[in-house]
Structure 1
């Protein structure tokens, strides 16, 4: 048996058992997608899901993922039935990791019976990873931020 150092901030609370950890991470992957995986699925053609931008109209106009459905979180209960097909999974996003708007949108959709995942990183990481986005001026992209996207085509994860 390993003794845990009570002063160690990492191990102050012991790690989960392997079975508990596996269940937790399996559940996390069922509820989350990352920007690179969403971009790859969209680039391959019909991804089998719809992307939903849950931000305001001004934010959507400033930049959004091409083809994203615009549905601010506050209007999901009222408008989701007209804009989304319950048989098609939805991937929500908002500004970025400092914003929980995509989480609130995903919760609202799940409570209405939609299959849903949240895109980790949001629009911020979409842009930082160099993927194209649409604005009211047309299609744009930013240089890849080397801190968010590896120089190789595949990060290996």
Structure 2
């Protein structure tokens, strides 16, 4: 009889304490579409929402209340009016885009507390949430 090895168990699972720290660290730098939508719908606006896609993509379709600041334009001058006390939430196109990650890295390097909204505008729209912009829901889903 041949024993088949487990690919899942080949690497031992971490301790519950280590696992808890890992997921709490992950949650400290990420949020999702549902949580952002819930907060916005309930008037909880203690964070600044930034669309880090191109200015054109923002103009065509964006999350209501978001401001446009393309990730490649994030620097000390373009963020001078932002409060270092307020959490910033960034988003880009979707799961296949790393613009949000780049934006979060640039903002955190400047001393801001930041979270990336997982799913980006793609999942914002897929979940049926409202959008603003010249093309609204008919805008392209990818960049």
For the superposition of Structure 1 and Structure 2, which TM-score range results when normalised by the shorter chain?
A: 0.7 to 0.9
Match of 1:35 in 2: 33
Report the counterpart of residue 90 of structure 2 in structure 1: 92
* TM norm structure 1: 0.80
Q: Unmatched 5+ residue regions in structure 1?
A: 143-157
CA distance in 1, matches of 2:9, 2:98: 28
**Which of 126, 129, 141 is the equivalent residue of 1:128?**
126
CA distance in 2 between partners of 1:130 and 1:49 (Å): 22
Q: CA RMSD in A?
A: 1.8
Quote the Cα distance in structure 2 between the aligned partners of 1:60 and 1:32. Answer: 21
User: Which residue matches 1:107?
Assistant: 105
Q: Write the deviation string for residues 6-60 of structure 1: whole angstroms up to 9, x where unpaired.
A: 8322222221111110000010111111101100101111420010000001211
1:73-95: CA deviation from partner (whole Å, max 9, x where unpaired): 1111141113x222211000000
TM-score (ref. length: structure 2): 0.87
Whole-angstrom CA distance in 2 between matches of 1:59 and 1:99: 14
Extract unaligned runs of 5+ from structure 2: 139-143
Contact kept? 2:61, 2:137, Cα under 8 Å: no
Secondary structure of 1:80's counterpart equals coil
Deviation at 1:141, TM superposition (A): 5.1
The size of the alignment, in residue pairs, is 135
Give the structure 2 partner of residue 62 of structure 1. Answer: 60
